[in-house]
Structure 1
Amino acid sequence: MSKLEQHIFKKNDSKWTFNHFYRGNKTFKKIIVILFNLLILITLVSASVRNDIHDTQLYVQENLNQIKNAMDILAYRNQRYASTVTKTINDLKNQNLRPLVTIHYYPKLKEFGFNRGIYPNNLLNGTLLGPGKPNKRIQNETHIFAILDDLWTEQQRHTITYNYYYISHALKYFYLSSKSNAINFNATREFFSSPKYKDRHSTSQFDASLYKGFHYTAPYLDIFSKKMVITIKSPVYNKDQIVGDIGVDIPVKSLFQSITLPNKLKSALNLYLYDISNKKRINIYTGYNNNLLPSVEIYTRLSDNILIHANISAAFFISSAIQILMLGLLLLIMLNYMNATLRKYKDQKQYYQLEAYTDQLTGLFNRRVLDTVIQKTLEETRKTDQTISMIVFDANDFKTINDTYGHDIGDLALKHISSTISDMTRDSDICIRLGGDEFCIVLPNADLEQALLMADRLELAIFSGYFCHYHIKVAISTGCTVIKANENLHDALIRADKTLYENKKNKAENRKMLQQQLNNYVFKSPPSFPKKE
């Protein structure tokens, strides 16, 4: 950027130095722009992914809490059923009631029960199963089955699949809440003697669980449905002794059906139960099998020993990040295009502004800058109490050069003057062509003595050089003044012009006197001397 451009733009652009460095080093500018765009893109993607992870975690956590809340509702309802059965048992213990239904014995299976698809169904809704032959106490408990049927018909539509049952620890039988057509349930004999039965018995639970009224079992393989289930059990009492449990079996796989997730999230989700006591993982739903990428963990506690976990694959967030990256790139391309367009418009505007303030022949300022750029420069300089001087000058006998050698030679003379003052002035000095052969230099932070010294140097430098093949020289006359405080440029220019014309007039008179003295010396008669005798 030339000295002229600096004067034009440094007042209009507070970041001229930075922009000037940019224009001088395009490679550095491109690197800075690329790094800045990458920083914006990385910040945008990282912030978006972080928010996406946070929102997804909250969303999945809400779904896990929904599973827990649904199971808690079943648990408290089951506790209420157990309390009702406990009251019924105590009310019927001394009554000799007629059995409500016939309990059959199945010799081939060595089991007893009803509603098993062998004999015609009776009026009770559930299915009875038990090893061996039934006794009279079981006949009396058919009234409990009717109460259970009434309770279990209260079941409302639920997001979790489940099935109620009553197990008698005293008489060793099951009463299931629904009719079953299966005929091979003789596994019950082994069940009542197995360690699993004792482990899931309410008497094996801690006092805290019994006081709460229900407890969760660890997931296990159900002997009837052959599915992995988790059971909520509530104890039934007779004279403060636990005689049975009312349980609700919940298939592990059905837990996933109780939540609603987008298909895209399902494909990146693994859902499982974790048994803390046995350190065992039971899968509920498997959406991905890629273990190379890290995953986001979310869990909630169903009970003291059972956790429900959700793993979200990082691939889910990577795909979202790629989409955001593409949108971010598109946005940055648009912004950079807009910025380039605005910068181009700004450069064009500055170029036209430069053209408006520039004298086409000499490349110096023209008169238009007097009321704009220079006036602002003066105002800023005065705030620092600096002295501002002005030099006004024109070419001597410039009309003679034009008339004798032509206007082309006159233009060369003007270019010679302008190039000389451009080379000899400071960067802070402002050089102006006022018109024709008249020029002006504004010197910030310079007093009258320094202006006079500069004027003498300019006169000598301009006159000492040749500017065309005719080997002619051009001389200038100068006028210097100090711009007073609160004085406008036009008044100072008028005073400097008066000084210029006085100096020019004095130079003309001095030349005239010198020429007269020279003429008198050349044409005057030589003095006469007396002849020697």
Structure 2
Amino acid sequence: MSKPEEHILEKHNSKWKIEHILCNHNMIRRSLTVFLNLLALIVIVGFSLHQEINETRLYIEANLNQIKKTADSLAYRNKRYANTATKSIADFNKQNKQLQVLADIHYYPKLKEFGFNRGIYPNNLFNGSLIGPGFPNQLIQKDTHLFVVLDELWAEQQNHPIVYNYYYVSHALKYFYLSSKIPANQFNTTKEYFLTDFYNYQHSMSQQLNKLQKGMYYTYPYMDFFSHQKVITIKSPVYSNNEIVGDIGVDIPVKSLIKSITLPKKLKSSLNFYLYNINKNQKIEIYDGYSSHLLPPIPVHTHLNKQTLIFADISPWFFVSFAIKITILCISLLIIINYMNVVLKRHKFQKQRYQLEAYTDLLTGLFNRRVMDTIIKDIVTENNNKSQPTAIIIFDANDFKIINDTYGHNIGDLALKHISSTINDMTRDSDICIRLGGDEFCIVLPNANLEQALVMADRLELAIFSGYFCHYNIKISISTGCTVIEKNETLHNALVRADKILYRNKKNKAENKKALQRQLNNYIFKSPPKFPKEE
């Protein structure tokens, strides 16, 4: 009990001593003390419980929003894939006679379907599987060029916690092209499928005009015809001569949505997740963490799309157990334990914040050099094990000291922030952007070769030089050095090699600049050439 509270109780007891002689009795004084402690206990436990509920709801809501963010990312990428496929089809139509067949399409008598990469005949070089009912139409041979484009697009996929699978369905030629190789016993189609109401309802030609103009749309959660799982599909139409000839879609199994969020085991076991279809008034279970119905649950939800909500019902027993623990602690040491609880929570939050700041450059918000021995080292090791390349771009600002000396360090800081913001805008989510120190930066590009790194470096040089970053209307340029980490090579050696390339490029730029300046001076100070007069 704190000293101010002891003073209040002392004054209250004094007043009782004046008016009631019975207050001198120890039992009454103890009862009064217990009553006041119980009152304080109720206030403290009630406040702590209210805070815990709000924080837990916000925490779970943030995780639900992460599901929405991931799904929206897949949707916009799917739209881009469809636009690319539409453009490719238009290009193929222009050079129709010059196109050659890129793969043999087999007929599977037992399955009564055609395709390739099904594990029955030797695989070809395509990454995906072609599946269609009956005998193959000769026109499908031309679409093998489209499969090359789709393979390249789908190879760009980022690692998402949500399980998903891309596919292309041709409405004109009645076939599927899946983004991975599927064994024959896992996916089969029939002629009847393309005649079902389910198929007619799902494809883009049956959608509203506003959805088609947007370029993408979500389906209702439904039982997939082939995998027999509840899925949500994001689709985008593919056009040929302004007519819809197919859809690029991405299937997201409903059960996999729970994998995109990470919750403590105890909290997860106190949650029920489900989807709610607004138009159909339908509830679709995702995950059952508890089954008690004695107390009403605490719901948290967010919109997955316009017609579908994702709900998380929190078991009230999760908070009851929390309240019991707080009550037991507060009975023994009411104020001290509650205060220590706040301190420990604050300490935990600060510890996490300090851990984040330890790897973050405060000026630019990029990573600092500490990630070299942790995050980057692990990524390089993983890529080497998978025989995947890892590229490095090192660059620094040209004439940065002149900017600092001329305009001051505040403008120099703005230049560094301009560079860092441009890096963040132009790099992928998987790329690691680092400020090595001063005006020197580094970008680690997982799954990228040297050619891709050089293209990225050129784009960065152009983008950084194209923008103004302060009211003086000055620009800043960079010099870059690119390399790829070789197998069994240390990160330090790769950085040293990239650094040498950087300074070689920087020296070449300086020499070219001097040569250009000499040519300009010669042009200015030499007398202009004389031309003979016309008669």
**TM-score, scaled relative to structure 1:** 0.58
1:116 aligns with 2:118: yes
AA aligned to 1:252 is: V
Bigger CA radius of gyration: 1
The structural deviation recorded for 1:195 is 1.1
**What's the counterpart of residue 462 of structure 2?**
none
AA aligned opposite 1:136:
Q
Q: Secondary structure at the residue paired with 2:84? A: helix
In structure 1, the partner of 2:17 is: 19
Q: Equivalents in 2 of 1:269, 1:84: separation in Å?
A: 41
Q: Which residue of 2 aligns with 1:272?
A: 274
Counterparts of residues 130-145 of structure 1 (less than 5 Å): 130-145=132-147
Question: Separation in 2 of the partners of 1:323 and 1:279?
Answer: 39
Q: Structure 1 stretches (4+) deviating beyond 6 angstroms?
A: 12-15
Cα 1:69/1:333, change in 2 over 3 Å: closer
CA distance in structure 2 between the aligned counterparts of 1:261 and 1:309, rounded to whole angstroms: 15
* Alignment partners' CA distance in 1, 2:14 and 2:172: 96
Task: Give the letter aligned to residue 130 of structure 2.
Answer: L
The answer to whether the 8 A contact 1:115-1:126 is kept is yes
Aligned with 1:167: secondary structure?
strand
Residues 113, 189 of structure 2: 8 Å contact kept: no
Matching of residue 224 in structure 1 with residue 226 in structure 2: yes
CA contact (8 A) 2:212 2:237 kept: yes
Please give the alpha-carbon distance, in whole angstroms, between the structure 2 residues aligned to 1:208 and 1:327. 59
Task: Pick the aligned partner of 1:147 from 130, 141, 149.
Answer: 149
Q: Shift of residue 77 of structure 1?
A: 0.6
Query: Are 1:156 and 2:158 an aligned pair?
Result: yes
CA deviation string 1:462-515 (max 9, x = no partner) = xxxxxxxxxxxxxxxxxxxxxxxxxxxxxxxxxxxxxxxxxxxxxxxxxxxxxx
- 1:123-166 alpha-carbon deviations (Å, 9 max, x no partner): 11100111111112111111000100011011121111111000
Superposed CA offset, 1:211-239 (max 9, x none): 22111111222233332211111111112
* SS of alignment partner, residue 290 of structure 1: coil
Check the 8 A contact 1:213/1:235 in 2, yes or no.
yes
Task: Tell me, in whole angstroms, the C-alpha distance in 1 between the residues paired with 2:42 and 2:71.
Answer: 43
The percent of aligned pairs where both chains have the same amino acid is 55
Shift in CA distance, 98/322, structure 1 to aligned 2, threshold 3 Å:
same
Partner residue, 1:37: 37
- Pair 1:126–1:61, CA change in 2 (3 A): same
3-state SS, counterpart of residue 85 of structure 2: helix
Specify the alignment match of 1:66 in structure 2: 66
Query: Which residue is 1:84 aligned to?
Result: 84
Counterpart pick for 1:196 among 189, 195, 198:
198
Q: 1:31/1:22 Cα in 2 relative to 1: closer, same or farther (>3 Å)? A: farther
The question of whether the paired residues in 1 share the 8 Å contact of 2:229 and 2:253 is answered with: yes
Distance in 1, matches of 2:278 and 2:297, equals 21
CA distance in structure 2 between the partners assigned to 1:333 and 1:105 by the alignment: 78
Q: Does 1:307 pair with 2:309?
A: yes
Give 3-state SS (helix, strand or coil) of 2:195's partner: coil
Counterpart-to-counterpart distance in 1, 2:198 and 2:48: 50
The 5 Å alignment of 1:243-254 reads: 243-254=245-256
Other structure's SS at 2:67 match = helix
Which residue pairs with 1:177 in the alignment? 179
Residue 40 of structure 1 deviates from its aligned partner by 1.0
Inter-CA distance 104–255: structure 2 relative to 1 (3 Å threshold) = same
Superposition RMSD on alpha carbons, in Å?
2.1
Provide the C-alpha distance between the structure 1 equivalents of 2:203 and 2:212, rounded to a whole number of angstroms: 11
**Aligned-pair distance for 1:22?**
5.5
Q: CA deviation at 1:278?
A: 2.0
Distance in 2, Cα, partners of 1:70 & 1:196 = 26
Q: Secondary structure at the match of 1:301?
A: strand
What residue in structure 2 maps to residue 491 of structure 1?
none
Q: CA deviation at 1:333?
A: 9.8
Could you tell me how far apart the structure 1 residues matched to 2:53 and 2:155 are?
43
Look up the equivalent residue of 2:79 and give its one-letter code.
Answer: Q
Aligned to 1:52: 52
- Residue 176 of structure 2 aligns to a residue whose secondary structure is strand
Distance in structure 1 (CA, Å) of the matches to 2:179 and 2:14: 86
User: Any idea what SS the aligned residue of 2:166 has?
Assistant: strand
Measured in 1, the distance between the counterparts of 2:35 and 2:67 equals 47
Give distance in 1, aligned partners of 2:108 and 2:186: 11
- Mapped partners of 1:300, 1:64: distance in 2: 7
Equivalent runs, 1:3-18 vs 2, <5 Å: 16-18=14-16
Question: Within 2, Cα distance between the matches of 1:169 and 1:90?
Answer: 17
**In 2 relative to 1, CA 157–22 (structure 1 residues): closer, same or farther, beyond 3 Å?**
farther
What residue is the counterpart of 1:377 in the other structure?
Answer: none
Check 1:293–1:16 CA distance in 2 against 1; reply closer, same or farther (3 A cut). Answer: closer
CA distance in 1 between partners of 2:21 and 2:166 (Å):
81
The question of whether the paired residues in 1 share the 8 Å contact of 2:223 and 2:229 is answered with: yes
CA spacing shift, 1:22–1:268, aligned 2, 3 Å: farther
Query: Aligned with 1:136: secondary structure?
Result: coil
Question: For 2:35 and 2:93, how far apart are their aligned partners in 1?
Answer: 85
Shift of the 22–190 alpha-carbon distance from structure 1 to 2, 3 Å rule, reads farther
**1:33 shift after superposition:** 2.8
| Separation in structure 2 between the aligned mates of residue 302 and residue 151 of structure 1, nearest angstrom | 25
Q: For the structure 1 residues 301 and 333, does the alpha-carbon distance in structure 2 shift closer, same or farther, using more than 3 Å as the test?
A: closer
Retained in 1: the 8 A contact 2:204–2:236? yes
Residue of structure 2 in register with 1:413 after alignment: none
Query: Which residues of structure 2 form unaligned runs of 5+?
Result: 1-9, 338-535
Deviations 1:367-402 (A, max 9, x none): xxxxxxxxxxxxxxxxxxxxxxxxxxxxxxxxxxxx
- The structure-2 alpha-carbon separation of the partners of 1:15 and 1:307, relative to structure 1 and needing over 3 Å to count, comes to closer
**Contact 2:118–2:183 (8 Å) recurs in 1:** yes
The alignment covers a number of residue pairs equal to: 324
Displacement of 1:15: 7.3
Matched residues in 1 for 2:332 and 2:88: separation? 73
CA–CA distance in structure 2, aligned partners of residues 292 and 216 of structure 1: 36
Instruction: Give the structure-2-normalised TM-score.
Output: 0.58
User: Which sits farther off after the overlay, 239-248 or 22-31?
Assistant: 22-31
Q: Specify whether residues 277 and 184 from structure 1 end up closer, same or farther in structure 2 by C-alpha distance, changes over 3 A only.
A: same
The answer to whether the 8 Å contact 1:22/1:29 transfers is: no
- State the distance in 1 between where 2:12 and 2:176 align: 90
